[in-house]
Amino acid sequence: MTAMLDAPTGGRLGRDDSQAAKLRNVDWSLVLLVGAIVGFGVVAILSATRNQVGYELVNKQIVFAVVGTTLMVAVGLIDYDKLRAFLPLIGIITVVVLIAVLSPLGTEVRGTKGWFNVAGFSLQPAEFAKIPLIVLLAALFTGRTGNVEAPRIVASLGILGALAALVLLEGETGSVLVYCFIALGIFTVAGIPARVLTLLMVSGVAVFSLILSSNLLKEYQVARLTSFVDPNASAADSYNQTQSVNTIGSGGLTGQGLFEGPQTQLGFVPEQETDFIFTVIAEELGFVGAAAVLLLEGLILIRIFRISQLARDGFGTLICMGVFSMLLIHIFQNVGMTLRLMPITGIPLPFVSYGGSSLITSLLCIGLVQSVSVHRRRGNLERSY
């Protein structure tokens, strides 16, 4: 990626905004890949929950998928450049909602006061806030010339810090990790010097260490974050990951068979439909099934990266790379958590884990990427940096 991002293109030069052109420019490979992995997730959720709650969660996930797909299509057809006019409003609404969830309007779920209950569905604003963060940071670093100016870096850190602080007050550490990785991806593509990136990463680690040693997080939250590297961790603290590793290992090459995994069907792995959904796939479909899911996730990332290269401007490129970074850290952290290589953070596996907020957010992000693809320059290969 080049370090020089362009100014807004303006006008309609080089564009073909007809409906036929929009359909031609849709990345249909990405559509099929996302559809396949969402379907994969529905089947895995059914296997993980049917003995406990029947079809309740599967039916909800299907509703989430329909809503998310509708929004994805709508967002994909709208020119992403129009978001520039609403950036201040987007930022204000995001902050107001994250504050509101800390009020009596919000609901506490598993120790995290970060949910709204709406008509029987739980919505998590911290998930949706990933989209405004991507758009705001992408816009902030578009249109610069020469080296990245210090005020832009300070402003971006202010946006990141404000969202991260509000989410930490909710007790949600996983989303903060995702926010930081989104920012890191956009910073890298925007051309922030390596020495500055290094300083930011070192500072981030120092801040995280201070948070762990403070009273901001509850004792059980700290244990979840550290038990994977602590040989003296109690059996209770390491139970989830111990069961997860055992379940994955029992799948072997081809698995125990769909709906036949004993660990899954007997509910030995907590939160198996959400945080630990990968264990369902690995136990019942084995290494082959797990590899298939990771292949689908990887191909989605490849398509997003390709669309970022075909974007008509730097704003589109940075949006794509923000989405790329978000999905990458989700995949890496979630799978690493199930293998006891990463801490337990509650980060779901994109498009697969149960949860409306996560699925709708991921589909909305794909809609943004499709908007970049649909509204790329005529001929598909022009770049403006």
Q: How many domains does the chain have?
A: 1
Does the pLDDT of residue 256 top 70, yes or no? Answer: yes
**pLDDT attached to residue 53:** 87
Kind and range of the H or E run holding 281: helix 277-310
Does the pLDDT of residue 208 top 80, yes or no? Answer: no
User: Does residue 357 fall inside a structural domain?
Assistant: yes
Supply the mean pLDDT for the chain. Answer: 86
Phi first, then psi, for residue 35 (nearest 5°) are -60, -40
Lowest pLDDT segment from 36-50, 64-78, 201-215, 344-358? 201-215
**Segments forming the whole domain that contains residue 309:** 19-374
Which percentage of the chain shows pLDDT scores above 90? 59
**pLDDT attached to residue 58:** 95
Are the C-beta atoms of residues 378 and 32 closer than 8 Å to each other? no
User: Does residue 12 fall inside a structural domain?
Assistant: no
Q: What is the mean pLDDT of residues 283-309?
A: 96
Does the pLDDT of residue 381 top 50, yes or no? Answer: no
User: Does residue 6 fall inside a structural domain?
Assistant: no
Q: What is the 3-state secondary structure (H, E, C) of 55-120?
A: CHHHHHHHHHHHHHHHHHHHHHHCCHHHHHHHHHHHHHHHHHHHHHCCCCCCEEECCEEEEEEECC
**pLDDT attached to residue 352:** 97
- Please give the full DSSP string across 192-252, using - where no structure is assigned: --HHHHHHHHHHHHHHHHHHHHSSSS-HHHHHHHHGGG-TT--HHHHHHHHHHHHHHHHTT
Report the alpha-carbon distance of residue 55 to residue 46 in Å, rounded.
Answer: 7
HSE-CB at 238 with a 13 A cutoff on CA atoms is: 17
Q: What is the mean pLDDT of residues 77-84?
A: 92
Are the C-beta atoms of residues 176 and 128 closer than 8 Å to each other? no
User: Does residue 9 fall inside a structural domain?
Assistant: no
Give pLDDT tens digits for 319-362.
Answer: 999 999 999 999 999 999 999 888 888 899 999 999 999 999 99
**pLDDT attached to residue 8:** 44
Structure tokens at 229: 């590297």
Which pLDDT band, with edges at 50, 70 and 90, does 139 fall under?
very high
**pLDDT attached to residue 109:** 77
Give pLDDT tens digits for 99-121.
Answer: 999 988 888 877 777 888 877 77
Q: What is the mean pLDDT of residues 181-204?
A: 89
Report the alpha-carbon distance of residue 72 to residue 373 in Å, rounded.
Answer: 13
Does the pLDDT of residue 89 top 70, yes or no? Answer: yes
**pLDDT attached to residue 235:** 59
User: Does residue 147 fall inside a structural domain?
Assistant: yes
**pLDDT attached to residue 288:** 96
User: Does residue 379 fall inside a structural domain?
Assistant: no
User: Does residue 289 fall inside a structural domain?
Assistant: yes
User: Does residue 141 fall inside a structural domain?
Assistant: yes
Residue 303: exposure state from Cβ atoms within 10 A (0-12, 13-18, ≥19)? buried
CA angle 229, 166, 339 (to 5 degrees): 25
**pLDDT attached to residue 204:** 82
Report the alpha-carbon distance of residue 73 to residue 95 in Å, rounded.
Answer: 26
Q: What long-range pairs does 207-215 form, CB within 8 A, spacing at least 24?
A: 211/168, 211/173
**pLDDT attached to residue 12:** 45
Output the pTM of the full model.
0.89
**pLDDT attached to residue 43:** 96
